[in-house]
Amino acid sequence: MPELPGKRSELPYTDPGRSPEERARDLLTRLSLPEKVGLMFHTVIEAGPDGTVLAGPGAISKHGTRDTVVGKLINHFNVHALTDPVSAARWHNAVQQLAIEETPHGIPVTISTDPRHGSVTNAGSSWSTPFFSHWPDPLGMAAIGDQDLVRTFGDTVRREYRAVGIRAALHPSADLATEPRWCRQRDTYGQDPHQAGELAAAFLSGLQGPTVTTESVAGTVKHFPGGGPQAGGEDAHFPYGQEQVYPGGRFADHLAPFRRLTDAAAVMPYYGRPVGLELHGEQVESVGFGYSTQIVTDLLRGELGYDGVVLTDWELVNDNWVGDQVLPARAWGVEELTSEQRCERILAAGADQFGGEECVELLLDLVARGRVGEERIDASAHRLLLVKFRLGLFDDPYVDEDVAAMLPRDEDVAAGRRAQSWSTVLLQDRGVLPLVPRSRQRVYLEGVDPGEAARLGEIATRPEDADLALVRLATPYEPRDDLFLEAMFHQGSLEFPPGLVVRMARLARQCPVVIDVDADRAAVVTPLLEHATALTVTFGVSDAAWLDALTGIEPPRGRLPIELPRSMAAVRASREDVPGDTHDPVFRYGFGLDLPGADPKLTRTS
């Protein structure tokens, strides 16, 4: 582990006996303008092979690590792919050493990440990481509905992140899953404002605690003031999804979870621009939330009393080109502004940090020309320094590779697998459950690991030879691949294609069929009911954990955290901001069956 270089111990900011507030104020007076401006950018960084730092650009990062850390003086980074825990820790220490030894005041870096403990990798929202324990998606945690379990999960995330040097989480999401087509439901705690607030607060408690300390991972609550009511379910990452609408007048529902989360180290506004929204009798300007003084300063800082860091979502200032694809800057409602004007407006709205940007020269020029005052820079730089001091990064920035090598702990892996089983929601059973292993039973599989299913019997390669079929399906979506990242976000229709339904019907004529739907969105499961002997929905559950649930090793406890619509016609007729608004849903919020023979004391009632 690298040693800390000798520091000017007589200076107040280097004295660990002083409060974080005193140290942040003292250091702020000593920083040059470029150092202060560097604090205000939070961009993507990628690890090199075997824990090295990248000398040149990466797959997404535009510059080499040294150019960014030493040249631009940026020290907040969102890390992408990590291959193994030792390399991750070694890379973190190398980046930390670069910042501490080669920048004027040795400001340590803060490494952040999107969620890493689930099953899905999406470069725009999550990274499934093999050396961390795997847990259900937040939607699955909402299906269990246990605050203590969510708090335990938050603490597990905290320990595992800290072991490799990750000290800031770009989560939890406090959005509501009120629009069935919206692609980011997986990351929410469901459609109910009260439960979403409770569970997001429980996760934040385990991750960060009531205040940021040297033991914390700093949490970033998103997407303020609620990213769920997307017009037509289209996501605000993309130009066609920029509108957030409130036809049911339920803005207060979407804001409600955030009222419980003002202890978070950071808050991230969403990309969307509100259409037809009024607050306190005043029309809210239809611009992206990160550009809105009414949302960031008046509502978040004023009404909610929040004084932490406001971090914008990624790339509000500049277009992002990756290879031959582009993702336009999410400057919704202010597209006509120049990059300089967008930067100026974001600061005027009240944000402290530019997510996904590294255009420090642009902000320096705005200050030089008198368009942004240095006192405005100081206000944000102070908030950002304060978090670093509270985390203890100035005193203990490095991590121990030997500790990282012990990831993941067996007990954490087991706890995550149990939670996955518990989160399974049983929707239908016609007498086939619980599944029982039989020596001569032949099992046909679609979408299920044969190594896991072998516990039930022999694997059949043809349906006509099977005594039982196990099928796991993904929620339908419409593939898109024009804009960068677009292919990774599942959007559009929730209906299963007719060919799949016909195939399930044919399979059901051969043997009993147990069907599971991985519900990253609210799938229309109606046509499956006729053909499924048993039907479940899951939220990021492994084959092993799913079979544990269906065999009764860990019986399912899940209750639907979102309703499942009867048809796409019902979805299209529903109001985007209203929880549970589709007509005559095939399964309502809170529905779930107990496994036959399971101890009812272990299952949650609907």
Q: What is the DSSP code (8-state) at residue 240? A: G
| Cα separations in angstroms, 504 against 74, 111, 452, 473, 598 | 54, 46, 22, 11, 28
Per the structure block, which two tokens stand in for 534? 């048993």
Whether residue 570 contacts residue 587, with contact meaning beta carbons closer than 8 Å, is answered with: no
Residues 6+ apart with CB under 8 A from 327: 237, 238, 315, 319, 320, 483, 484, 485
Would you name the residues annotated as active-site residues?
313
Half-sphere exposure of 464 (CA within 13 A, CB side): 0
Pairing of strands 218-224, 166-169: parallel
- Are 107 and 393 spatial neighbours (Cβ–Cβ below 8 Å)? no
Q: Does residue 389 sit in helix, strand or coil? A: helix
The amino acid occupying position 505 is: A
Strands, E, within 413-465: which ranges? 425-429, 442-446, 458-460
User: Which of 557, 474, 540, 475 lies closest to 138, judged by CA?
Assistant: 540
What is the C-alpha separation between 400 and 406, in angstroms, rounded? 11
Q: Where are the beta strands (DSSP E) in 63-217?
A: 76-79, 110-113, 166-169
Q: How far apart are CA 528 and CA 566, in angstroms?
A: 11
418: left (phi over 0), alpha (psi -120 to 50) or beta: alpha
DSSP string, 52-101: PBPSS--SS-SS-HHIIIIIS---EEEE-----HHHHHHHHHHHHHHHHH
Report the alpha-carbon distance of residue 186 to residue 173 in Å, rounded: 10
d(CA 308, CA 386): 9
Contact indicator for 545, 421 with CB cutoff of 8 Å? yes
Are 147 and 198 within 8 A, CB to CB? yes
Give me the numbers of helices (H) and strands (E) for the chain, helices first please.
18, 20
Q: Which residue has the tokens 């969102």?
A: 78
Task: Give me the amino acid identity at 36.
Answer: K
